[in-house]
Amino acid sequence: MPFDPMKNGPRPITLAISALGGQGGGVLSGWIVKMAERCGYLAQYTSVPGVAQRTGATIYYLELFPHEEAKKAGRPPVLALMPMPGDVDIVIASELMEAGRAVSRGFVTADRTTLIASTHRDYAISEKAAMGDGTADAQTVLEAIRAHAKHLVAFDMKASAEAVGSVISSSLFGALAGAGALPFPREAYEDTLREGGRMLEANLAAFDAAYDLARKNVAGGAHGAEPSPSSPLPHQSQLQSASLALAEGKPAAVRDMLNRIPAELPPAVHDLAVEARAVALIIKILRMRGFIWTDWL
């Protein structure tokens, strides 16, 4: 069973969400707050924004405290504004590397934390900007989160949502319900989605699919989960796009050039070679058409 936050006396349930720009982390946080309040909990929600669109992530932090316990104490609880290492009950990561960052920051601990993570990849700027294949080793990250989490629910939640026409926030919400990490029934989650109204059928379908997959993870462990790249590796996609872009006009010469690059050059410089050849071809075409008349290019 997941960690019981009330085992050693009243204390809040602590939950951190790491989401990229546009993934609905704020919406997910709002759903959890509404559900908790409906189920008799006091809820506090804060966020520390990062840079959107994959150069950073926003950390959303929630603390939930039973209203009845506050009434017994005769005063409201003091709730924290940000997560602290070793003191987070539930971590939700919208992408595999965000789960790895949560581990490295100490938010995921083997004595306490239920980690819910999507195994798909959205490549970081540093990975895309590398001269060669700069992608991080997803398998190493997956092994690390397995080792550090007390309970792990991990599968490709982005693909699960897109398969039914929804978005990843609905899958994360369903995985949270399926993990059983919060003391709320499934109906409370579904009622919260229905209250939202927008994309109701798609959101419920994504919720249901993620709930079932999470239950299987809880029952059988997440050791079969594998990282799921959401796009080709940078050097693969660039070679493919270059093939299409350069093939017009001189397909035989272009095919010969593209074949020579992987055959004669090390992988780390494949992208650079493709870019250099593309620039040279563009300059040649511009000169032939009279747009460039200097000799130094």
pLDDT in tens, 56-70: 678 899 999 999 999
Instruction: Assess whether 126 and 140 both reside in one domain.
Output: yes
The CATH number of whichever domain residue 185 belongs to comes to 3.40.920.10
Q: What percent of the chain has pLDDT over 90?
A: 45
| Range of weakest confidence among 77-91, 136-150, 194-208, 270-284 | 270-284
More confident site: 224 or 123:
123
Domain boundary among 209, 229, 249: 229
Number of domains in the chain: 2
| Range of weakest confidence among 144-148, 225-229, 266-270 | 225-229
Q: What is the pLDDT of residue 38?
A: 94
Domain boundary among 229, 262, 280: 229
Confidence of residue 186 (pLDDT cuts 50, 70, 90): very high
Average pLDDT, the chain: 80
- pLDDT higher than 70, residue 111: yes
- Please name the residues in contact with 256: beta carbons below 8 A apart, sequence gap of 6 or more: none
Q: What is the pLDDT of residue 3?
A: 44
Element (H, E) at 225: none
pLDDT in tens, 224-249: 455 554 443 333 444 444 444 444 44
Instruction: Kindly tell me the burial class for residue 2, based on how many C-beta atoms sit within 10 Å of its own C-beta (0-12, 13-18, 19 or more).
Output: middle
Element (H, E) at 207: helix 200-220
Domain encompassing residue 283:
234-288
What sign for the dihedral angle of Cα 104, 105, 111, 117?
Answer: negative
CA 221 – CA 147 distance, rounded (Å): 12
Question: Helices then strands (H, E): number in the chain?
Answer: 12, 8
Instruction: Assess whether 195 and 260 both reside in one domain.
Output: no
Rounded to an integer, the average pLDDT of 106-114 is 93
More confident site: 155 or 283:
155
Q: What is the pLDDT of residue 113?
A: 94
2 assigned to some structural domain: no
CA 168 – CA 161 distance, rounded (Å): 5
Domain boundary among 178, 210, 229: 229
What are the C-alpha distances in Å from 178 to residues 147, 153, 227, 235, 260?
21, 9, 20, 38, 51
pTM above threshold 0.85: no
Instruction: Assess whether 260 and 183 both reside in one domain.
Output: no
